[in-house]
């Protein structure tokens, strides 16, 4: 599953907002945030048609957070 570091999250509301926004992207099967690590993992519905990372990162930026590709 792709992973993205998300700076600026600090509470359950932040976690829920990011999960909801990423889950709403067509082609995303599910999204899960680990708040302690400030990391988002998401699963694509079709592994043969990956979702552009820019789309996912844009949805996170629209919420006011700063996404980075996780190492």
HEC string for 4-52:
EEEECCCCHHHHHHHHHHHHCCCCEEEEEEECCCCEEEEEECCCCCCCC
pLDDT at 50: 83
pTM above 0.85, yes or no: yes
**Per-10-residue mean pLDDT for the chain, 71 residues long?**
92 97 96 96 89 94 94 70
pLDDT at 21: 98
Q: For 3-18, how does the pLDDT look when each residue is reduced to its tens digit (9 = 90+)?
A: 999 999 999 999 999 9
pLDDT at 47: 83
């Amino acid at each position: 599953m792709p992973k993205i570091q998300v700076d600026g999250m600090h509470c359950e509301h932040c976690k829920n907002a990011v999960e909801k926004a990423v889950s709403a992207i067509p082609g995303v099967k599910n999204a899960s945030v680990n708040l302690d690590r400030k990391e988002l993992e998401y699963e694509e519905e079709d592994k043969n048609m990956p979702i552009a990372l820019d789309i996912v990162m844009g949805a996170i930026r629209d919420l006011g957070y700063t996404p980075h590709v996780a190492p």
